Structure 1
Amino acid sequence: MTRLLERSGLGEETCLPPAHHYIPPYRNMEASRAEVELVIFSAIDDLLAKTSIRVDAIDILIVNCSLFAPIPSFTDMIINRYKMRKDIRNVHLSGMGCSAGLISVGLARNFLQVAPRGAHALVVSTETITPNYYVGKERAMLLPNCLFRIGGAAVLLSTSRAQARFRLARVVRTLTGAHDSAYRCVFQEEDGEGHRGINLSKDLMTVAGDALKANITAIGPLVLPASEQLLFAVSFIARRVLNNRRLKPYLPDFRTAFEHFCIHAGGRAVIDELQRSLGLSDQDVEASRMALHRFGNTSSSSVWYELAYIEAKGRMRKGDRVWMIGFGSGFKCNSAAWECIAPPRPAEGPWEESICRYPVDIPEVLKH
């Protein structure tokens, strides 16, 4: 466990739920609900304060949390807490993995397209880790204990441009679950001693790479400039005509389509692989590495911590384009493309007290 932590890329300020501060950790319903309320109510309170939107102006509520699905649901908890309207459309997504936040964004977009003009959708992304701490000894199932931490985000989407800061340009979802290796590479199961946990397959990075290729193939023609698409087409035709497998396929430069990248902070290996596969610079993946170091793997909300990092650094400009990439069990690779309409005004956020210390150097092995 110690060796895994030393190589994880996580710093010493990440947060575990109170239930995990005990030996052994306790994982009962009361502690699990307490974590949910701490995270999502704090995020929603902050959102309502920043936007000054009334609760009764919210028409759609979507919450995603993969590993904890209590009765009543998360949406019921929120509706009860904030006394929301009786006719609010609400959905609780579970079991969708770390890319569920972008699935929720896509679902909110679909709802808004058929809602009256000016409707509002509240999207809440989190993962509840209290009931999912693995107490066994299987190395592949211990890794989630080292990576996952408390975190959550609340996002408001609308068809009204009033107060809008970003425009959602594209949402592209790819699923490789028809292949058994992809389906089982992130799998909740019990070990030989009956301890339940998440088993991460040794083929995870290969599966993630294949899913990323499928997603790039789908989103590339939608966002890349004509010059990059032409180079890719010429490379593809040359390989087919010459029938020469040694010719490497042309990798489009996605930096011609996006100024900023928010890659799911699933772990150091995930970020390394995407940086290599997409030909990104260290600065392009800085937000992902720093979010992993400061907050850990916060699952589906990690891309929002990364966006907040870019903004806290003052790097976001009007017209800048952002590519969010998420991976999830199943196996899924989902993308969202955004365009900045209005740069952020000074505001409190998750990086308020620590942004002055970042970026930091992250050694290969961190001695605690």
Structure 2
Amino acid sequence: MAENAPNLPNFLLSVRLKYAKLGYHYLISNAIYLLIVPILVAMLLHLSTLTIEDLMNHFAMLKSCSTLVVFFATVYFMSRPRNVYLVDFSCYKPHERFMMSKQLMIENMSNIFDEESLMFQKKILERSGLGDKTYIPIDTIPFKYTFSSYLNEAEEEICGAIDDLLAKTRVKIGDIGIIIVNSSAFNPSPSLSSMIVNHYKLGVNVITYNLGGMGCSAGLISVDLANRLLQGQANTYALIVSAEIVSSAFYIGKQRSRLLPNCLFRMGSSAILLSNRSSDRPRSKYQLMHVVRTHKGADDRAYRCAYIDEDENGKRSVLLSKDLMAVAGEALKTNITTLGPLVLPMSEQLLFFASLIARKVFERKMKPYIPDFKMAFEHFCIHAGGRAVLDELQKNLDLPEFLMEPSRMTLYRFGNTSSSSIWYNLAYSEAKGRIKKGDRVWQIGFGSGFKCNSVVWRALRAVDAAKQKNPWTDEIQDFPVHRSHLDA
């Protein structure tokens, strides 16, 4: 007891500060009610003093005001954006024949790389945060990549995700009016969106888009594009497919900075069905609330921190710059500066504004106030780009391990599946039974360019884990894994 006694004042102070902050947030959040209630009481007291004659004299004015209210209400409801609903989504789970442990991957690559390059990749794999059940198109290791193998991989991933989604939603593929596909590294001609049209024999009026070269945040860009298209076309379904053909970006040279993606990227894809039909609201899982996109491409350092080119021997690969983490942090700060006012409670916005004034106007030497986004969201779906990415975002956003769990488990179980990883994150939370009605979900994606994109959803209903069928369903009881496995 004597050893702990000196810490008691600090403990009491921290408790007081905690409850003082909670009281402050409660006061600010309910300020509008604290102002309105006295006004309404005063109005009722005033009306109680009026006679029938006084009320008749005010009737004409009251009628005019009512007409104006009805007019402006009609204009508002006619001009507001259409609601967009996420009916359901699907994440592709590759066949077990594609499953590859880290040790098996090193063994399969032993006849491709020299000893130095092999050992470097082995060290990266050991510290990557990936487990031993990720998926790689093993038919192509040892190195036998061909254009036809890329197409086969694309068709298996994309159609696998779509078939599962159609089975879940029971929507006929012919009823879908908009199709958007994003794949950064592999973009054949005809496009992957045309491949879908051909595979499912879709009608001539379907609108298709194919986004290429937009990096790991392209899935969220696709959501933004679909939302904009759905605003101009009534009673429509939009299908978004996010995929990355990892074999097309596999590097067999010796430059270490180019070997890193070999250790992180894995097979995976997702299919998302959006609708602007009001009749779909009761069966939809989420409603789209906000999309915020940040592009730092004007900065040369940001533009060159992740790109595809060839080494001195003409071998094509993804090159990651040493500035990647710093650029990602800057892009995130810019993005949340725009997102914050849209989602944070007024109490947090006032604290952030006060900190800004103190530092910029009064030149006080103090750390910038980091808004508490835990007050705005119940779930965080952060792109599982790598262990370093997740560590950096956890520190910047001050998130507890519980909220980072879906992203870390996605990286561990499926690896970096590029733009589809945020959907594996959300599928994890659903499989755990954590999604409740009214919950808010923040999806964060980073991509070459350099871009940071955010999408916010609100759960329209509780998601029953027992009725879910997703890649986690059969093994969710095995997660989360102990932190020691991630650090191995």
TM-score (norm 1): 0.97
- Which residue of structure 1 lines up, in the alignment, with residue 289 of structure 2? 169
After TM superposition, the structure 1 = structure 2 runs for residues 134-213 of structure 1, keeping only pairs within 5 Å, are 134-161=251-278, 162=280, 163-213=283-333
What residue is the counterpart of 2:481 in the other structure? 360
Deviation at 1:348, TM superposition (A): 1.3
Which sections of structure 1, spanning at least 5 residues, go unmatched?
A: none
Larger RCO: Structure 1 or Structure 2 (Cα < 8 Å, ≥ 6 residues apart)?
Answer: 1
1:348 aligns with 2:465: no
Q: Would the alpha carbon gap of residues 4 and 201 (structure 1) be closer, same or farther in structure 2, given more than 3 Å must change? A: same
2:192 to 56, 62, 74: 74
Distance of 1:71 and 1:190 partners within structure 2: 22
1:9 aligns with 2:129: yes
- Rounded to whole Å, the distance in 2 between the matches of 1:358 and 1:152 is 21
Residue 347 of structure 2 aligns with an amino acid whose one-letter code is: S
Letter in 1 for 2:418: S
* Partner residue of 1:101 out of 198, 219, 228: 219
Q: Secondary structure at the match of 1:8?
A: coil
The answer on 1:51 being equivalent to 2:190 is no
Displaced runs of 4+ in structure 1, greater than 2 A? 362-367
Aligned residues: 363
Alpha-carbon distance between aligned partners in 2 of 1:144 and 1:28, rounded to the nearest angstrom: 19
Distance 1:351 1:365, change over 3 A: closer
One-letter amino acid matched to 1:26: K
Please tell me whether residue 314 in structure 1 is matched to residue 419 in structure 2.
no
Which residue of structure 2 aligns with residue 280 of structure 1?
Answer: 399
What SS is found at the alignment partner of 2:401? coil
| Distance in 2, Cα, partners of 1:360 & 1:44 | 30
Deviation at 1:364, TM superposition (A): 7.7
Of 338, 359, 362, the match for 1:242: 362
CA contact (8 A) 1:164 1:341 kept: yes
Q: 1:363 offset after TM fit, Å?
A: 3.4
Shift of 1:347: 2.4
Shift of 1:343: 2.4
- Structure 1 residues 121 and 365: CA distance shift in structure 2, 3 A: closer
**AA paired with 1:312?**
A
Mapped to 1, the partners of 2:270 and 2:483 lie a distance apart of 25
Of residues 334, 340, 353, the one that matches 2:453 is 334
Q: Residues of 1 paired with 2:213 and 2:165: CA distance?
A: 25
Q: Give the secondary-structure state (helix, strand or coil) at the position aligned to 1:124.
A: strand
Give 1:269 shift.
0.3
Query: CA–CA distance in 2 between the matches of 1:339 and 1:260?
Result: 10
Query: Paired residue for 1:37, among 136, 148, 155?
Result: 155
Gap runs ≥5 in structure 2: 1-120
CA separation of 1:202/1:46 partners in 2, compared to 1, >3 Å: closer, same or farther?
A: same
Contact 1:9/1:362, CA 8 A, preserved across alignment: no
Provide the residue aligned with 1:61 in structure 2: 179
Partner AA of 1:181 in structure 2: R
How many percent of aligned residue pairs carry the same amino acid? 54
Secondary structure of 2:150 counterpart: helix
Q: Which has the larger radius of gyration?
A: 2
How big is the shift at 1:239? 1.0
Cα separation, 2, equivalents of 1:79 and 1:229? 47
Pick one of 207, 213, 217 that aligns with 2:337: 217
Check whether the contact 1:189–1:199 (CA below 8 A) recurs between aligned residues: yes
**Which residue of 2 is the match for residue 228 of structure 1?**
348
RMSD in angstroms over aligned alpha carbons?
1.1
Q: Distance in 2 between matches of 1:43 and 1:362?
A: 30
Normalised by the length of structure 2, the TM-score is: 0.73
Distance 1:174 1:360, change over 3 A: same
Considering fraction of residues, name the structure with more helix: 2
Query: What do residues 259-293 of structure 1 show as CA deviations (whole Å, max 9, x unaligned)?
Result: 00000000000000000000100011100000000
Residue 255 of structure 1 pairs with residue 374 of structure 2? yes
Call closer, same or farther: CA 1:366–1:320 in 2, change over 3 Å.
closer
